[in-house]
Amino acid sequence: MIVSNRRQQATPRTPAVVSRHVLVSLYERPPQTELTLDEFEIYAVDRLKILRTIDALKQKGFKPRELEAELAPVLAQALPLRGSAEHVKADERKDQVSHFILRLGYSRTEEMRRWFLTQECALFKHRLGTLSGPQLGLFLAANGLKFEEVSDADVDARSVALSKISKTGDGGAAGYYRVPFVEAIDLIGRREVYLEKGYAYVPAAKLHAIVVARFRSALSRSLAKASSSLAAAAGDPRLSPLLNNIEKHDLSNGKDLEDDDVEGIHPEQIDALAKQSMPLCMQQLHGALKRDHKLKHWGRQQYGLFLKAAGLSMEDQLRFFQAEFTKIMTVDAFSKEYAYNIRHRYGKEGKRTEYSPYGCYKLIMDMAPGPGEYHGCPYKHYDDDHLASILGAMDISRESSQAILGQAKSKNYQLACQKHFEVTHPKAAGVAARPDGVGNHPNAWFKASRIYHKEVHEAKNPDAVKQVEPAAAPAAAPAVLLAN
């Protein structure tokens, strides 16, 4: 793939036999195409919108049919796959390119790979479900996906067993396919296939689940390989801002978590901000730090990276932690034991890599605290009584507290976090707080809260709003080519 700053030249339209064109892709090979830098970012961001929408809908508990209905108009706007001759090539190009950009960007860590894999499989499943019977057959043939069709005689010989997996009585009207049982694990769990001698007999109507399983397996392997190519691509200064910050860009719904919507923070503000604008996970870490004047390793990492992304400079973070830690140790001991790790978070020591703040997925899945530790997700890791006690001490109604506890008890930890934001930020959707990323990332929670309070303050004090001069337009970048 070649990236350029030049605008694409218009090319004459040529007739296309669209009816035989396969729109859904397995993304087995990256496209060979020239790409402008503007396209590189636009394509990536548009696909991120789709994947974030899928994730958000699932977090809100949307059922498959509801999710499909909500997703369709978003896809039509940001990432369509239209079959008309006028659009098919451009749509296919954008779909292919955007997938491989995000595949590269999301190959950095295991957490990012898991997230990308989950959302891409959901998108693939949705698109596969929109294909008609003939279109599905064309897709299978074009991608060399062959399945062993069960003969009528074999179906008749197993008619009693096969009838039990058809809830409506006609689930196998279009026939059955025989596949190794390991490719039908999801269907086995839902009792939608018949098992015999290591093979699953799959109704034709359920064949798409097998295709999705193969797609997941292939994409998982490809993501592991892609991580070795990331360093070369991210080393280019034109691509690195997006590739190196793609998770933050995504989790804040298309805006960098460290942008200029609100000012940076200083140590003197943190006590007030902890109470006003930090999610519960960070409030717990801040409270433990103020009470014990120390945090264990993962607590320092979680809170330190959060504060960094919130706008606290390295010098101020050193000053902030030193002020607390030196209440129980000497300045020299703090400098020897803790200052290095703080500088390391900002890319000033070791590999000189800037680290991203932890998202909710990592806090929930990988960050269980031990005795004397306060990191992780309170909704996941605190017992009911402890969580109820914490919420009871806040300025939250009993009804709202019970709603939050109910989500946590149901293991909807991110929905519990979203509910906490809703009850502490009334009518947040009515201002510019953009709460969409709340429940997905602590810094999205913090940022949305700060914008909310800024908007509320300005609404109450219109005379205090500063007049900001419009920013000058950026200078045009020179034309360059990059071969990936």
Please enumerate, by residue number, every residue annotated as part of a binding site for [4Fe-4S] cluster. 281, 360, 377, 417
Contacts of 450 (CB under 8 A, 6+ apart): 261, 262, 273, 277
Written as one letter, the residue type at 299 is G
Written as one letter, the residue type at 178 is R
**Cβ pair 439, 421 in contact under 8 A:** yes
What is d(CA 256, CA 244) in angstroms, rounded to the nearest whole number?
Answer: 11
Place of tokens 């979203």: 418
Tokens representing 362 are 């990592």
Q: Is beta strand 2-4 parallel, antiparallel or unpaired with respect to 176-180?
A: unpaired
Strand order in the sheet with 481-483: 34-36, 2-4, 481-483
Identify any residues that bridge with 200 across adjacent strands, giving them in sequence order: 179, 195
Tokens representing 175 are 């026939």
Distances in Å between the Cα of 127 and the Cα atoms of 2, 21, 84, 131, 161 are: 28, 15, 17, 7, 31
What is d(CA 183, CA 90) in angstroms, rounded to the nearest whole number?
Answer: 33
**Cβ pair 394, 407 in contact under 8 A:** no
| Length in residues, the chain | 484
Tokens representing 218 are 């292939």
DSSP strands (E only) in 341-475: none
Half-sphere exposure at residue 258, Cβ-oriented, CA atoms within 13 angstroms: 17
Q: Is beta strand 34-36 parallel, antiparallel or unpaired with respect to 481-483?
A: unpaired
Contacts of 212 (CB under 8 A, 6+ apart): 121, 124, 125, 128
What is d(CA 446, CA 264) in angstroms, rounded to the nearest whole number?
Answer: 12
Q: What angle do CA 84, 89, 93 make, to 5 degrees?
A: 135
DSSP strands (E only) in 259-348: none
| Torsions phi, psi for 447 (to 5 deg) | -65, -45
**335-364 burial, b for 16+ CB within 10 Å, e for fewer?**
eeebbeebbbbbeeeeeeeeebbbbbbbbb
What is d(CA 185, CA 447) in angstroms, rounded to the nearest whole number?
Answer: 41
Annotated binding-site residue numbers = 281, 360, 377, 417
Query: Is residue 56 left, alpha or beta, with left meaning phi > 0 and alpha meaning psi from -120 to 50?
Result: alpha
